[in-house]
Chains A and B, each alone.
Chain A
């Protein structure tokens, strides 16, 4: 098992450290761990000190941080 951190950037709660089976893809990870529609979010992976826009087939590594951010955030007065 490996540990992957999930950040939803919605302001509620803290980053979650989630154990996953080694070899789990990003797509599968989000299906299980994230309730929202991934299409409404951009996903970036922080791995080994760099951040990349990961594709759905990316195989998660131990210590990766998956950061989700909405594609739209409404500013307001």
Chain B
């Protein structure tokens, strides 16, 4: 770290010390809170008197004995408790609180006076140089002074847990409120913490709080970092955000194991796929949805999109179209009335005559008019061309009454206009024609 940076950091820190040490601590909120506690305590006392004094003490007779079992103390003792004991207690509490308030005032004012130690720029620079020389990695980036502490290993009764490296970060212009503890190796507990005494990069100082503040106010920045490191290396199991065993033997209460990302997650983030029988978490973004048919949630891998309505459905609620193979949900499936196979809407048409749903395989197309019909409605063939024609295209020979198509029936007699089959045409002797010729 070059000298100009050291000077910059030292200057920022010195300015903070100069400002902080002369600024008196505002204890008005504390005093106000204490007064309110006292007032509440007095009200509680009055309330207790009114309530308990209305309760009749119960006295139970012991069978076959003249003695009495007192379930609740007798009236005189009860009265003494109400009128003397509780009142004395609450009065003592009020007195103590008043004394505490006065003591606080005296103490903080003396602290404020005594903390006016001069921290020179040279002193501050020396602190920075010592810090650089003590810890392996000290950086200053974007106004943040960072010190790397390595191999934070905590132990409880059972295990040593290596939490990896951490960075202690401060803004030298406001070190007290800017302290952050950043995990480098991100060794996370099952409950989402990187250190038992660190939550969202905020250190719970505990016993170290007074020492940290004193070090900062007195210009002992090296001692500040040293104390923070000691707090990080100490495991206080009586007051933790999460116990150490959450790193090696987690209870996993209210958690489930995500098969996809192989991590323990909160139950609220749980998605259970009924098809593949696996748990997914929200972070894995399984892309699932509720089946449009049965309503059960399934992951994206197990869901199919209906080719007609484009809704998601599970594999049990879709069928492949018999003709094109596309998946179709129950709502969109169409059954061919001829072959009874399931089809999608694109592979089925209605018969022009009977309106039955006919799949592409069962459809008949009239060679005359190209209309789509079912086989039932195109079961007659022309006597002349032998093609199966629809009802619209059917007609009868006027002579022999045989079924012929309208195309073949176009060769009608020019004179009488009768539609006839070919054989009848050949043998037809038109009377009108003879009359005309005659």
Contact = CB atoms under 8 A, between A and B. Distances in A.
B134 interface: yes
Contacts of B130: 46, 49-51
Contact of A75 (B114, B220, B234): B234
A11 interface: yes
Contacts of A77: 204, 239-241
Contacts of A72: 230, 233-234
Contacts of B208: 73-75
B231 interface: yes
A72 B213 CA distance: 17
Interface in B208-260: 208-215, 218, 220, 222-223, 226-227, 230-234, 236, 238-241
Nearest to B230: A73
Interface of B: 114, 117, 126, 129-130, 133-134, 196-197, 203-215, 218, 220, 222-223, 226-227, 230-234, 236, 238-241
Given A10-B210, A49-B129, A75 B226 contact: no
Contacts of B210: 10-12
Given A69-B226, A74-B206, A74-B239, 5 more contacts: A11-B210, A12-B214, A51-B222, A73-B231, A77-B204
Contacts of B239: 74-77
A67 B225 CA distance: 13
A72 to B, nearest CB: 4
Contacts of A14: 114, 117, 214, 218
Interface in A1-37: 7, 9-12, 14-15
Contact of A73 (B129, B133, B211, B215): B211
Specify the main secondary structure of chain A where it touches its partner. loop
Instruction: Give the size range of A's interface with the partner.
Output: 20 to 34
Nearest to B219: A15
A50 B133 contact: yes
Contacts of B211: 9-11, 69, 73
Nearest to A49: B126
Given A10-B211, A12-B210, A75 B205 contact: yes
B234 A73 contact: yes
| Residue from A15, A70, A73 whose CB has the most chain B CB atoms within 10 Å | A73
A76 B207 contact: yes
Nearest to A71: B230
Given A74-B207, A76-B206, A69 B227 contact: yes
A74 B236 contact: yes
B129 A75 contact: no
B390 to A, nearest CB: 87
Interface string A38-69: 00000010100111000000000000000101
26 contacts: A9-B214, A10-B210, A11-B209, A11-B210, A11-B214, A14-B114, A44-B226, A50-B130, A50-B133, A51-B134, A69-B227, A71-B230, A72-B234, A73-B206, A73-B208, A73-B211, A73-B227, A73-B230, A74-B234, A74-B236, A74-B238, A75-B204, A75-B208, A76-B197, A77-B204, A77-B239
